[in-house]
Amino acid sequence: MEQSGEQQRSDEDYGYGLFPKRKEAKYKKGSVGESLFTFHNKCQLMLHFALETSPYAKFLLGVMKQSGCTAYQDRHFSCEDCDGTVSGGFDAATSQIVLCQNNVHRQSHMNRVVTHELIHAFDHCRAHVDWFNNLKHLACSEIRAANLSGDCSFGNELSRFNFGFKRHHQECVRDRALRSVLAVRKVTPEEAKKVVDEVFDSCFNDLAPFGRIPHSKNDVKFASRDFQNRDRYYGNL
């Protein structure tokens, strides 16, 4: 029987080519090779620090836990070598967040990547996201992650020398979502732009679970307070 077009697609169509360690295990867990691998050790330490101290990560982990999707560092996070163009990814097939140990070298960068990927994990937890077959679902989550993770903060855009025009935040989110879709799917730029444009407004305005664009730690603190108050309200009904 002839395979359908979807069945014939290779793993690389879904971005797995950017994460070669998803296909091979160079170091078995607990091996001497792994313990001596400096990038890996540094990545693990930065990841642990992010999960313990980043208000964004702590808030998202707490929300996911209350939603029945507890994330554990040793099960749901993996430090690996990646293609030189990416910093991290969410593998829906294994419910794992990949941190690119060869590309993430600063704690601030790690914090942002963890937050970005946790937003994908939150979407995976709360919604029936068809990551592999529905391009609109993928684009929507990429828009939300770019919008809510700090990817497009003023400081980050300043460091990229991107600033100074009207509606800059929206355009940054649109551009980063477009690039993310192109990185993990074999589609043309025109196809990717079309699908991002189609879902942009609704997904840009979907601010769950923060309820606002978290521009600062104070915004996260207010989001956490609102979330706890909401739970108390529903608990008293």
Q: Please give the DSSP secondary-structure letter assigned to residue 207.
A: -
71 torsion bin: left (phi>0), alpha (psi -120 to 50), beta (else): beta
User: Within 10 Å of residue 191's Cβ, how many Cβ atoms?
Assistant: 14
Residue type, 72: Y
Residues noted as catalytic = 117
Nearest residue to 81 (alpha-carbon basis) of 60, 65, 103: 103
Determine whether 88 is exposed, middle or buried from the number of CB atoms within 10 Å of its CB (0-12, 13-18, 19+).
buried
Please report, for residues 7, 73, 100, 123, 129, the alpha-carbon distance to residue 78 in angstroms, rounded to integers and kept in the order given: 27, 8, 9, 19, 22
Cβ atoms 77, 70 nearer than 8 A: no
Nearest residue to 113 (alpha-carbon basis) of 88, 85, 138, 90: 88
